Amino acid sequence: MGKLTPAERRRVFLIQEHNRQAMLARVSADPAAELDHGGASRRRQQRLLKTVLIFTLLSGGLALYELVEFHRPASVVEALLPRR
């Protein structure tokens, strides 16, 4: 088992050769067309968007903290007692 006949070996060789040629044709066709020249600009825009989002969240949290009064209870008993 595992032995190939000469015809099967030839067929496997031809399939591998065909795949090799197709791969070389794709690689040598136009390598410059696959380069992404807008990558740096896109990363810069994403970084700016993240910075603006973080700033917005922080400033909104700070504004909400100033607007809403939060009095932390001094003890667990005070937290469980009903408020008047």
37 to 15, 28, 32, 41: CA distances (angstroms): 36, 19, 10, 8
| pLDDT of 34 | 60
Q: Tell me if the pTM is above 0.75.
A: no
Segment 3-60, tens digit of pLDDT: 889 999 999 999 999 999 999 888 777 666 666 667 778 889 999 999 999 999 999 9
| pLDDT of 66 | 82
Segment 52-82, tens digit of pLDDT: 999 999 999 999 888 887 777 788 888 888 7
What is the SS3 string spanning the chain?
CCCCCHHHHHHHHHHHHHHHHHHHHHHHHCHHHHCCCCHHHHHHHHHHHHHHHHHHHHHHHHHHHHHCCCCCCCCHHHHHCCCC
| pLDDT of 7 | 94
